Amino acid sequence: MTEPLRNGAESTLVPAEPVLSMRGLSVDYLTGTSPVHAVDDVTLELRRGEILGLAGESGSGKSTLANAVARLLRPPAVVTGGEVLYHPAGGADPVDVLRMDARTLRRFRWRELSVVFQSAMNSLNPVATVGAQIDDTLRAHDRTLSASDREQRSAELLRRVGISADRVKSYPHELSGGMRQRAAIAIALALNPEIIIMDEPTTALDVVVQRDILREISALRREYGFAVVFITHDLSLLLSMADRIAVMYAGQLVEVGAARDVHDAPSHPYTHGLLHSFPKLRGPREELLGIPGTPPDLRDLPPGCPFHPRCRFAVDACAELTPALLDVHAGQSAACLAHDPASYGAPVPAELNGGSGR
């Protein structure tokens, strides 16, 4: 028989137990005379059963971080430091994903960690049916399943993601964009992993289909009990579905906290700017602030805080000192010199201290 699905009945109560820990993770692109520091000393934890949103502008390092975690980086990208620890269920010792041999990595992928890529049309094989692609995954990673078991599992997975089972013989070009994305999610669920990385899975979908996909992901998470790293540049989208949010800028983590805390009391100027870059659907009209300037060149970052040339709260010290990720509230941290009064030389601006939330 097919493998039973993990019980995710309690996954909405996110425990503190980690399932994946990134510690000091750094990735460079070795091109030209100077390396591009795409991910710089990132320390982040994914808790078992949670949805962790990873937000930031294009080029901030989100996808590079995800590819490093899944060991999918291609040259000239190179992991230059840190570790990625997977914590197996049951209290077994953690394992460093970056040091797994090829055989162990093959078992780890799909069974414990799977990936849903940004464009389903590009990630799905155009000359194989959806059912055949699910079957390939099952056959490659679980040789105990018979052909009939794999067929049943393929049909079951399609139904679980809201696609009629008779679509098992359809090719990707015969499906709508939303259905292709659901099929990609079904393939990621094939071996019932503990972790799913979703790299902008709703990009290029219309708003109605996008919301349907998000609701489906949340429902599947509750049912299956897996943890999700959900990557997007759209912070407003994460506020509606994530348990916690991590914000990246110039390859660095600049803020981490519970979704509600990040929404109500952003502690980093970049997060504050992102939140005030889109209008509220309800309430009085207010001025949209936005963020001036453009993201920095990762080959030539400015000294001090990389955000200071665009920051309206910057002081002279921001151009000299690199801020560390500091705890600013319970469960919320930010890499901003404003939360270090001795270095900042002034009180924390009200907007960064819970005084101007959304």
Convert the pLDDT of each residue in 156-205 to its tens digit: 999 999 999 999 999 999 999 899 999 999 999 999 999 999 999 887 78
Q: Which conformational region is residue 62 in: left (phi greater than 0), alpha (psi within -120 to 50 degrees), or beta? A: alpha
- Quote the pLDDT of residue 112: 96
- Quote the pLDDT of residue 358: 53
| More confident: 97 or 288 | 97
Summarize the confidence of residues 285-294 as an average pLDDT: 82
- Quote the pLDDT of residue 123: 85
- Quote the pLDDT of residue 174: 95
- Quote the pLDDT of residue 290: 79
Convert the pLDDT of each residue in 95-142 to its tens digit: 999 999 999 999 999 999 999 987 776 789 999 999 999 999 999 998
- Quote the pLDDT of residue 357: 53
Mean pLDDT of the chain: 90
Whether residue 111 contacts residue 193, with contact meaning beta carbons closer than 8 Å, is answered with yes
Residue 13 reports pLDDT greater than 70: no
Collapsed DSSP state (helix, strand, coil) of residue 177: helix
C-alpha triplet 354, 355, 358: angle, nearest 5°:
80
Collapsed DSSP state (helix, strand, coil) of residue 229: strand
Summarize the confidence of residues 267-293 as an average pLDDT: 84
In 3D space, the residue among 239, 269, 237, 238 whose CA is nearest the CA of residue 356 turns out to be 269
| Domain boundaries of the chain, sorted by first residue | 18-247, 250-352
Residue 11 reports pLDDT greater than 80: no
| More confident: 36 or 207 | 36
- The CATH code that applies to domain 18-247 is 3.40.50.300
